[in-house]
Structure 1
Amino acid sequence: MNTPDEKAFRSDLLKASFMLGELEGRWKLVSLEWPIALIDVTARDGLQYRLRFDVSNYPASAPTSGLWSRDQNAALAPALFPRSRSGTGRVKDVFRTDWTGGQALYLPCDRTALAGHEIWLQQMPSKAWQPSVGITHYLELVHELLNCPDYAPPAGA
C-alpha cells in the first residue's frame, strides 16, 4: 500500500456501507491487485456478475468497470451480458455491448462513460460519481439495476 489512491480505496473497503453490502450478499470483493479490483455483484436471480474495476487515482477520479469472465479472465462475452426484460430499458442501456466494446458501463459514475457526457452531471446528479461515498455508490447503482423489474438474465444463461 504505497500510493494515496490505494490507501483511500482500501479504506473504503473497510467502511460499514461496503461491508454491509458484502454481508447482505449484494456484492463481494474477489481480488485486489492494484489498481484492478474484481467485485462480484448479485442479481435478483442469484447470478453473480463480475466487474473488473480500474480504480487508479481513486477517489479523485471515478473508477471505470466492465463485465469480466471468471472462466476466461477476460472481458465477458456480449451474449452473457444482462438484458432488459422488454428488450429496451435501463439494464440494456447501462450494460451496452455496442459501446466501447462492452468494456465500460454506461453510467454517470463511470470515468469512461462520463467523458463526453458531462451533461449527465446536471441530468442525473444522484448517479454521478461521489468521491465522499466512494466505490459503494457505484456498486449500489449496479446492484439496483441487476435487481430491478427490467432485469433479465443473459440469453445464454
Structure 2
Amino acid sequence: MATGVMTPDERAFRGDLRKAPFMLGELEGRWKLESLEWPNALIDVTARDGLPYRLRFDLTNYPAAPPTARLWSRVENAALAPGLFPRSITGSGRVKDVFRTDWMNGTALYLPCDRTALAGHESWLQQMPSKRWQPSVGITHYLELVHELLNCPDYAPPAGA
C-alpha cells in the first residue's frame, strides 16, 4: 500500500483514537496505545495493581466486524506465556473466565465483543447485550470491558508477578 493511503477500516479506527472517550482513558491511565501497524494495534490496559497488560488487536474490517485481541508480551513481542495471564482471586471467577489459557491456546479473550470468541457463542448477544460489540462506540467499549475486569475485586496478578 502506498504511504499515506489508508483503508476505510484504518481510517475509522484512527478516528476513534481521536474521540474523547479513548483520549480520556489514556489521560486517566486506564489504557495506552503503544503502536499501530495496520491492521494490528498494541494497547496496554492497566490493572488495579498498576501492572500493564498488553493486548494485540487484529482490527481487520473495523468497526463493522468486531476486533479480536490476545495478551501480548511487552518484553518478547510475542504471545504472552499462559503463566503470565491475570488470574481470579478465587481461582474460578470472571477474570479467569475471560483470560482463558484452556481455550484456543489463549489466542483471544473470551468476551462477547471479541470476533474470535463470538463465533459459536451467538447466544451471548442475547445473554449479555451490554458486552456485545458496538461499532458506534468502537475500540473504547472493548477496552472498558477489559479495564473493568483488571480492576475488579476478582483480579489477581499472575502467580510469578
Please classify the TM superposition score into its range, dividing by the shorter chain length: over 0.9
User: Is 2:68 aligned against 1:58?
Assistant: no
After TM superposition, list the pairs within 5 Å mapping 1:5-154 onto structure 2. 5-154=9-158
Per-residue CA deviations over 1:75-127 (Å, capped at 9, x if unaligned) read 00000000000000000000000011101000000000000000000000000
| Letter aligned with residue 29 of structure 2 | G
Residue segments in structure 2 that go unaligned for 5+ positions in a row = none
Alpha-carbon offset, residue 145 of structure 1: 0.1
Q: How many residues align?
A: 157
Q: Structure 1: which 4+ aligned runs deviate by more than 2 Å? A: none
SS in 1 for 2:71: strand
Counterpart of 1:125 in structure 2: which amino acid? P
SS, match of residue 74 in structure 1: coil
The RMSD of aligned alpha carbons is 0.5
Q: What TM-score do you get using the length of structure 2 for normalisation? A: 0.97
